[in-house]
Structure 1
Amino acid sequence: MWKDYSVSYIKNNRASSISIMVAALISALCLSFLCSLFFNLWVSETNGIIQDEGNWQGRITGTLSDADITVIRSFSNVKSVEWNEELSDENAAVVDITFHHMRTIFQDMPLITAELGLEESAAEYHLLLLSKYFVHDPQDKEPPLLMAFYLAVFLLVSFSLILIIHNSFAVSMNARIHQFGIFSSIGATPGQIRICLMQEAMVLCAAPILLGTLFGIALSYVIMQAVNQIAVNIPGGFASDWVYHPAVFAITVLSSALTVLFSAWIPAGKLSRLTPLEAIRNTGTLKLKKKKRSRILSFLFGMEGELAGNALKAQKKAQRTSTISLSLSFLSFTLILCYFTLAGLSTKYTYFDRYQDVWDVMVTVKDTGIGDFDQTQDLQSMEGVRDCIVYQKAEAVTLLPDEWQSGELTALGGLGALSETPKTPEGDYEVKAPIIILDDESFLKYCESVHIAPSLDGSILLNRIWDSVNSNFRYKEYIPFVVENKDTIFLKNTVQNETTELPVLAYTQDVPVLREEYANYALVQFIPVSMWEKISGMTGSAEADTYIRVLGNEGLDLAGAEALEDRITKSVSRNYKIESENRIGEKITNDYMISGYLLILGGFCVLLAVIGIANVFSNTLGFLTQRKREFAQYMSVGMTPAGIRKMFFVEALVIAGRPLLITLPLTVAFVQFAAAASHLNPSEFWAEAPIIPILIFCLAIFVFVALAYYIGGKRLLRCNLSEALRNDTIT
């Protein structure tokens, strides 16, 4: 049967065969691309974790000796044990452990600590690294789900690809029901028919699967190179080598082959189960179970619109995959672009624009108090420095009686109406009073800016509170917090339950030029370092780090900012451990990161679009056989080739336009909701809306759908349609 029928059928039905081969090629390409890309992303993320946090899986901290190391190595599943010299000190030693089989780590580590005579709390797990291998803490109710998400995406796309190939085979096989009914009537068994169809599937798809796999590998290489170009421009980012593993190739080819077999088996099974009489009576034409008038298409395009509407309804099941894929791709693409536009506007207004004239270089001096930092004057006099403030932050609490609240705050219902600030048993509010400790010179300049006599003998109190009743977090409005009638403020030490009296030099609603976000319902205080040295230890605790905020000369560009940052870091890093950043570099880094996200997520959207468009090509070219008879009947009653072209135009317009009509209202609703939720003025978004990329994506969908119908229609009109009415064979 293979030699007598299948070989001849493949040779004489090139359109149907090409449709199946193209579907298999695209499916293999997409599967290969996804497998290779996900594998490279997994390797890149895993290497990044190892680079930042170390290549350990379990860690034990305690009083350990060389004998204990020998005990740990005696466990059969332990692969390596190493001293962690960086974390070890005179009080406790730290060892890093790796295992042969990571999945048993949560059973092995408690046994090891018990054998060493330590508590289970002495064990630590590298949960982030373990999660990349799908190893999670069984006690964790909310384990990391990123890798599971990747797997779910892969399975979802694989299912979509199965539908593409399945539809291609279904179209081809359904067109041959009548012929197989004849074969069955002369003795062909269902098993022979099924085997014949499966042989055809493998012969047609073997070469496309291999080619598609190779194309997918090449595409993933190109994408990874593009991601690496972005990564190397991000401070702290690193380029990861493109890697590939034979197991990935084996999984890709096996998945593609199983996809083809599964896709062909379903329609082949249905076809083989038909009785000879049912198969012979089938003419292979499209049938519409229940006809409904397409009023809109009929009104717009006349008789051709009505016929196109009926044809689309008859193909509804076969077109389902393309409609879903195109809708999902367009929706995903537009939502991603709109999301990043909204995020970019939010970041622009709340960070980059807000701090445009506040800082150029920020340096964090690690584990150093401001009193121990002795390079303040050197930095303030450094070349290229227009202004420099060294500061530290500390926590404190004060008691706020009702009578100290401002009249504006009382009119809104008091502090309790705006926040959940707790009250003491005496009825006073226990308000946070964070302290910003400035270097003495900067504090004296701040005194001048708020128009008071320069002094180092007290604090300047930021007398404002967010009016959350009449404004939102995006456009905050402030009112006075307290009545400005007190010369001192009492700070409470919550640990020692003692209070410290601090003179108040002034009340103001103006803040010093710092890159800081102040608490909404707190009495923030600014004090000089000389005052802090007097009261430290009697209030709350200070943060471990000290911050240096630097403004460079006017008109600073990226090169100037980097040069200034380099001079500062070279000066400070000789004596202190630091971290630094510059504003212009941060902006560029942010833009690069958004570009990277758009590249990867946009690529995924394009992949969905390719799946949908491939399905349109598959259906259009595959339905050619069945539609020969359909259009021959139309032409027999007087329809011209121009009318057929008009029908194709209407069908293409509906197939491409339906996903857009579905998703555009959803996108507009999302934008309105997201803008309202983030309290952005919608007009600000629409002024920056990514209209051009969305229009280009829409145009691409229309072009490719139209191209599919152009190819199918051109082949159809070249055929001898009169022959299709009286002959079941395909020429």
Structure 2
Amino acid sequence: MRNIFSEITKRTMMRNRTRTAVTIVGVLLSTAMLTAVAVFAGSLQHFLVQETIATEGAWHVDIGGLTEEELADIRADERVKSISVVREEGYFPADENDGLYHLLMSRDETAWRELPVQVDAGRLPEQAGEILIPYDGILVNGQAAHVGETVSVPLGRVLSPEGEPAKTWELGADVRYEEEETRTFTVTGIYGRIPESNSYGNGYIFLSGPSDAVKAVGNPGAWEGTYCRVFIEMKKPGQTDGFIADWVDPASGRNKLEDVSWSRHDSLLRWQGVLRNENYIRMLGGMLVILVAVIMVGSVSLIYNSFSISLRERTAQFGLLSSVGATRKQLRKSLRWEAFFVSAAGIPLGLLAGIMGSAVTLHFIGGGLAALLYGHEGEIPVRVYPVVLALAALLAFATVLISVWIPSRRIRKISPMDAIRAAEDIRIHPREVKGGGLSGKLLGLPGMLAAKNYRRDRRKYKSTVVSLTVSMVLLMTAALFMEYLTEAGGVILDPPRYELGYTLILSGGEEDEQAIEDTQRLIEGEPGVEEVWLCRQLSITIPMEEGALASAYTGVYSWNRESAPDGKVPFTCMAIVLSDEEYAGFLEEQGLSEPETEGAVLRAVYYDKIRAYDETDGSYQQISILSDEVKHRPLAAGQYRSVGENDQGELVFDEKLQVEFDQEAEELPEKYDASRLSEPLMILSKRQFDQYMELMNRGEDSQDVESGAEMSGTEENEPVSYFAEFSIRAKDYRAVGEDLEEKLSDATRELDGIFYTPAEDAALNRQAVAAIQVLCYGFIILISLIAMANVFNTISTNLMLRRREFAMLRSVGMTGRAFRLMMGYECVIYGLRSLVYGTALSVLISLAFSRLTFRGIGGGGFLFPWAWFLASVAGVLVIVSVTMAYTMHKIHGMNIIDELRKE
């Protein structure tokens, strides 16, 4: 509805187009940031859910070992949306002599529709007489099976010693196989990955055609004596934990089923928002609260400054309106009209900008992000939820209302005469305006004027300092948010440092070094391999006395002391061997000296920290392993062996050498992945490794060089095995891994080697960390834009309000150099105060982040990213300089007489 106040407000806004535009931009950026983050997160979440369903299925709970009666009970649960059933058809031997029993399973129609199958060769089975096999050439009753061939399968049952049908996890050497029938199948294809898993511990799983499950319908007796496995999709993902507690989890005390296996589809439930780690939930919730608070503080700071400056400009106008009868309520309503106008323009544009920003971001990085997350090209479609837009608009409008409410309260305190005279803008107290001092002596009149100006109108200058401080804190908070969230993601999710790995199991012979060199040369020559890191690893046995290990460690890990000689803890310590160059660099980084390598004592640099879960308070803690009494003194090391017939007698310990935990390192070598470290780690040089092998391989007549103590040993030393670990970086790790695994298998056929894919195993962890980083970088960009607009709006408007002052100084002969000197000194005052306040607030925010992120999950502690800090300081100073230069250029272009005549 049109009225005099709305008309006056519109005319005022049109007359101050720059300030109005900056205010609208502030509302636009605030809304865009909220919208962009929400739309991007929603799109990424939708993509991750759909990809997980496509590769793993839409099920939430997997239960194995069910009878038909138990399955019927589960079907009656109202929380269940659908059930995919995989039934046991029977077992059959792989070969007569290897003791393996493959399992033939059939799926019902729901399972074939809902559970994905990756077919590496051939096609899916279409009828009862067709099967899928796990790999080409697998043995079926002693014969190799290939695609397109017909195989004869002697199906039967595997019975426990008591004569009961055994479940897959119960199969062992004491089971009894009974053949019941022989069936013929045609092999139609080879599957790669299925939710059922390729193997079950005592053999592989074969999948038969879909019609095999038809006989179960209306004829449960056909499945008597067999078990089934079900994949259950809940109507609401949040009901999953309640369902598990009611049916299968013994810890709940109310589980209806016993002697079944079960698992929870955490990879899907995670993306659907169902998290089980309460510490992780608290961390995410706290971080999001701080994130929203920072967005609102930055937005309120920018928009509040605009309305506060508007109030200062319109003080005389409000005084005139008040003198002719306008009430304070009507004047406050005038400011709210201004808030409504900027919201009407800024919020819709912000919603559109947020959606477009997310769409553009996903267009350019979606394919690469999909490849990073899943290893193949793809698109991440934009997903816009109406409720997200509504919440973003409401939150942005609430931000504007808060911003206008703060300065509108000042209207009640201004009398009409004070408003017309602008008496509230400048309050002079003689003692406060005593300017000059050191600044006047060093910089002359410009320095004295700058110091007096700061004291003369503190409110205006405080708004500038607050604006700069908030801008710096916003940039630092965005950087801290990324640092802590990425660090927390690394602690919780343990993303791998290398995509591929290969382990050679060696025995310490002369041919080992040549095998290592040949393997490394083969890996480095593989196209697509970017980096290879070689690290020898070995396990050193060190029996420990009671109390030699820290109590925090023994509370988490326990041993059977009765089985070890003299009741000592059969403790083992891992050791890694670095090249001489790497070892010297590591010692220099840690500020340590190189240990001696003479005699029968292995003096080692060690790392003594692990992350352990404390069940008492449900948190991860970083603990030490060794007590002080075992450090810096020789300890017996060697190997255990059994004496007696068939090596089944008493266990004795052969001492081969002594080891000493000599110097403690505060950090691990940069390239070493310690995600599964659960014991002290020795860091050895190649020379120390040679010393260890020499001591372990010597006979019983050897003497200790240093102490003269006799070292016991066996007459014939057992081979000392160790590992050569090759950590491999490869961008297209799937393709490189397939080719490299085949080449390594052929090249090291006479050696024991294990090829593995850490990146594949930790794909979900990589997804989470990558998503965190992308969101954080987008957040930093938007926060930076708000900070820039905030500083520009505050400084430019405050300088424009001083047009008459500058015109007066120019009229009495102040030169351009003096002007620049005065304004430069004012910038120094702003910058120093803002730097002090901004640093203090950034430290407090970092402490809050540290408490929220690492409390309960272990890991690091307080972080302060100095690079981001220096960047934020430099950025704020650049924005101040550019804004001041732009505004002073405009002021110098104005007519002095016209400015002095303005009232």
Task: Work out whether the TM-score is over 0.5.
Answer: yes
1:128-167 superposed matches below 5 A: 129-130=268-269, 135=274, 140=278, 143=281, 145-146=283-284, 148-167=286-305
CA shift in 2, pair 1:643/1:58, >3 Å: farther
Give unmatched runs, 5+ long, in structure 2: 87-194, 201-224, 489-495, 508-513, 525-531, 576-599, 610-623, 625-630, 661-670, 684-688, 698-721, 847-863
Pick one of 542, 546, 566 that aligns with 2:739: 566
Distance 1:104 1:342 in 2: 31
Is residue 34–residue 154 contact of structure 1 (8 Å, CA) maintained in 2?
no
Pick one of 860, 864, 885 that aligns with 1:710: 885
Is residue 316–residue 422 contact of structure 2 (8 Å, CA) maintained in 1?
yes
Say whether 1:258 aligns with 2:398.
yes
Distance 1:334 1:551 in 2: 31
Pick one of 315, 332, 335 that aligns with 1:194: 332
Pick one of 60, 83, 86 that aligns with 1:81: 83
Pick one of 256, 261, 283 that aligns with 1:117: 256
C-alpha RMSD of matched pairs (Å): 6.4
Pick one of 384, 392, 395 that aligns with 1:245: 384
How far does residue 212 in structure 1 lie from its aligned partner after superposition?
3.4
Aligned-partner SS, 2:882: helix
What amino acid is aligned across from residue 296 of structure 2 in structure 1? S
Distance 1:393 1:467 in 2: 15
Distance 1:660 1:550 in 2: 48
Deviates more, 1:258-267 or 1:97-106: 97-106
Partner residue, 1:9: 12
Residue by residue, what CA displacement relative to the aligned partner does 1:694-721 show, whole Å, maximum 9, x if unpaired?
Answer: 8776554333222222233333344456
What amino acid is aligned across from residue 432 of structure 2 in structure 1? K
Distance 1:171 1:4 in 2: 19
Give unmatched runs, 5+ long, in structure 1: 344-350, 353-358, 371-376, 403-413, 437-461, 529-545, 672-688
How far does residue 241 in structure 1 lie from its aligned partner after superposition?
0.4
Is residue 500–residue 733 contact of structure 2 (8 Å, CA) maintained in 1?
no
How far does residue 639 in structure 1 lie from its aligned partner after superposition?
4.5
Partner residue, 1:533: none
Partner residue, 1:215: 353
Residue by residue, what CA displacement relative to the aligned partner does 1:216-239 show, whole Å, maximum 9, x if unpaired?
Answer: 333334444565465466485465
Aligned-partner SS, 2:801: helix
CA shift in 2, pair 1:593/1:130, >3 Å: closer
CA shift in 2, pair 1:286/1:64, >3 Å: farther
Partner residue, 1:542: none
Aligned-partner SS, 1:243: coil
CA shift in 2, pair 1:516/1:312, >3 Å: same
How far does residue 160 in structure 1 lie from its aligned partner after superposition?
1.9
1:123-522 superposed matches below 5 A: 125-126=264-265, 129-130=268-269, 135=274, 140=278, 143=281, 145-146=283-284, 148-224=286-362, 227-228=365-366, 231=369, 234=372, 236-237=374-375, 241-247=380-386, 248-271=388-411, 274-283=414-423, 285-287=425-427, 291=432, 297-298=439-440, 300-301=442-443, 302-307=447-452, 309-310=454-455, 313-319=458-464, 321-329=466-474, 331=476, 362-363=501-502, 385=522, 399=543, 429-433=568-572, 464=602, 466=604, 481-482=634-635, 489-490=640-641, 499-501=650-652, 519-520=679-680
Aligned-partner SS, 1:315: helix
Task: Give the strand-richer structure, 1 or 2.
Answer: 2
Distance 1:76 1:340 in 2: 38
How far does residue 180 in structure 1 lie from its aligned partner after superposition?
1.2
Distance 2:259 2:827 in 1: 66
Distance 1:577 1:305 in 2: 75
Distance 2:733 2:233 in 1: 46
Task: Give the helix-richer structure, 1 or 2.
Answer: 1
Distance 1:360 1:17 in 2: 53
CA shift in 2, pair 1:712/1:283, >3 Å: farther
CA shift in 2, pair 1:202/1:379, >3 Å: same
What amino acid is aligned across from residue 99 of structure 1 in structure 2? M
Is residue 640–residue 654 contact of structure 2 (8 Å, CA) maintained in 1?
yes
Is residue 322–residue 416 contact of structure 2 (8 Å, CA) maintained in 1?
yes
Distance 1:200 1:613 in 2: 22
How far does residue 183 in structure 1 lie from its aligned partner after superposition?
1.0
Distance 2:901 2:441 in 1: 34
Aligned-partner SS, 2:382: coil
What amino acid is aligned across from residue 716 of structure 1 in structure 2? I
1:527-566 superposed matches below 5 A: 549=725, 566=739
Deviates more, 1:88-97 or 1:168-177: 88-97
Aligned-partner SS, 1:706: helix
CA shift in 2, pair 1:581/1:178, >3 Å: same
Residue by residue, what CA displacement relative to the aligned partner does 1:352-411 show, whole Å, maximum 9, x if unpaired?
Answer: 9xxxxxx9973379xx999xxxxxx999988964999x9999999774689xxxxxxxxx
Is residue 6–residue 337 contact of structure 2 (8 Å, CA) maintained in 1?
no
CA shift in 2, pair 1:259/1:701, >3 Å: same
CA shift in 2, pair 1:150/1:557, >3 Å: closer
Aligned-partner SS, 2:569: strand
Pick one of 96, 99, 102 that aligns with 2:234: 99
CA shift in 2, pair 1:341/1:142, >3 Å: closer
Deviates more, 1:211-220 or 1:40-49: 40-49
CA shift in 2, pair 1:468/1:645, >3 Å: same
